[in-house]
Homo-oligomer: A and B are copies of this chain.
Amino acid sequence: MKKHIVLLPGDGIGKEVIQSAKDVLEAVAAEFDHSFTFETQDIGGCAIDLHGTPLPESTVNACTQADAVLLGAVGGPKWDRLPSHLRPEKGLLGIRKALNLFANLRPVKAYPHLLHASPLKEAVVSGSDLLIVRELIGGLYFGTPSERSVDGQSVVDTLAYTKQEIEQIVDKAFQSAQLRKGHLTSVDKANVLESSKLWRETVEEKQAQYPDVTVEHMLVDAAAMKLVTNPNSFDVIVTENMFGDILSDEASVLTGSLGMLPSASLNQASVGLYEPVHGSAPDIAGKGIANPLAMILSTALMLRHSFQLEKEARTIETAVQAVLDDGYHTADLQIENGHKVGTEQMTKMIVELI
């Protein structure tokens, strides 16, 4: 298989972990006889520095033509005081919109070796394996008007959805549930929001097409509670953009392994953007100690979702599991009687296992 991949290292540790992703993909290509070509483009803070904008047109063009995109991370204190249209995050929001990446998939899995670092009791979190499917290009993030009044005394943001936008994310979530344990929790605030009522109705209509999936509706406040008290009870969660932002970050810390969590953002053509859930971690950038596993697991998601290379994806996931089983970990994690290694050595071990 021949594929062209755009690398967007971004800022901070993004640059380090993207190198790990490339190394791993080259190992996969060699082992399974594929040809992956790579091209690096700027996004976020470094793009502001070089091009005066967090999302240069050249980056958008390259991504549009690629088979998939890997992103490290964006942002850092250096750019925090810029006006909002010049903030690194705008690059991220812009590329999501430009590629029409409506579906953000964030799997959260409890790794037995890492549970002792979870804030939750092991009995509560152990066995958790859930997937949050977040709508990514609608709702409050992109609705208009989003502006201050001329006199500066009032402000408005808009939570807008079309039925078609809801249908496409709900379809994606049902399909994801079919590939997993067949249970879908749709999260909304239907006792308050009109948009949530349309959301809930749409889920109920779609349900008929997926008789093998059981559906439950949950209010967002109840979901925020249940993620903490009983993360085990979820399989797939689907929700709108802002609720998804909050709940997926809440979920990301449950298992004590934020440095292990990948994410995929997909469009209808399944050209996707893959990135770790963690940020650019400016405090440890350049030290060679960043955990590359979330980025590496993001490449596995890319192989699976964009290239349908399930075997290759599993090979990566198995290698990650094996390295942890052997007690190797980066500085952000702790494993009893384990061995601490840096970014490069961790990557090398994964590459060797592939």
Q: Which residues of A contact B (CB under 8 A)?
A: 84, 87, 89, 93, 118-121, 124, 140-141, 143, 146-148, 152-164, 189, 191-195, 197-198, 220-222, 224-225, 227-230, 242-243, 245-250, 252-254
Contact A194 B224 (CB under 8 A): no
Distance from A233 Cβ to chain B, minimum over Cβ atoms (Å): 12
Instruction: Report whether A141 and B192 are in contact in the complex, using a CB–CB cutoff of 8 Å.
Output: yes
Given contacts A89-B192, A119-B228, A154-B161, 15 further A-B contacts (CB under 8 A): A148-B194, A148-B197, A153-B164, A154-B160, A154-B163, A155-B161, A155-B197, A158-B159, A159-B159, A189-B242, A221-B248, A221-B249, A228-B250, A228-B254, A250-B250
Q: How far is the CA of A154 from the CA of B199 in the complex (A)?
A: 10
Measured between beta carbons, the chain B residues less than 8 angstroms from A146 are 193-194
Name A157's contact: one of B195, B225, B229 (CB within 8 Å).
Answer: B195
A223 to chain B, nearest CB (A): 9
CB <8 Å contact, A249 and B229: no
Contact of A225 among B155, B195, B230, B250 (CB under 8 A): B250
Pair A224/B242 contact, Cβ less than 8 Å: no
The minimal Cβ–Cβ distance linking A206 to chain B, given in whole angstroms, is 15
Contact assessment for A156 and B160 in the assembled complex, using a CB-CB cutoff below 8 Å: yes
Does A159 contact B157, Cβ atoms closer than 8 Å?
A: yes
Interfacial chain B residues near A227, Cβ < 8 Å: 250
By beta carbon, the residue of chain B nearest A152 is: B163
Q: How far is the CB of A146 from chain B (nearest CB, A)?
A: 5
The 20 listed contacts between A and B (C-beta, < 8 Å) are A93-B192, A120-B120, A120-B121, A143-B156, A147-B194, A148-B197, A148-B198, A154-B162, A154-B163, A155-B160, A155-B194, A157-B159, A157-B195, A158-B158, A189-B245, A221-B250, A224-B250, A225-B250, A228-B228, A228-B250
Complex Cα–Cα for A163 and B153 (A)? 5
Contacts of A147 in B (CB 8 A): 194
Q: How far is the CA of A125 from the CA of B250 in the complex (A)?
A: 16
- Of B87, B155, B161, B246, which is within 8 A of A195 by CB? B155
Smallest distance from the beta carbon of A354 to chain B beta carbons, Å?
32
Across the two chains, which residue of chain B brings its CB closest to A122?
Answer: B121
User: Separation in Å of the A172 CB from the closest CB of chain B?
Assistant: 19
CB-CB nearest in chain B for A141: B192
Chain B residues closer than 8 Å to A245, beta-carbon distance = 189, 220-221
Contact check, A225 vs B198: say whether CB atoms are below 8 A apart: no
- A350 CA to B140 CA, complexed, in Å: 47
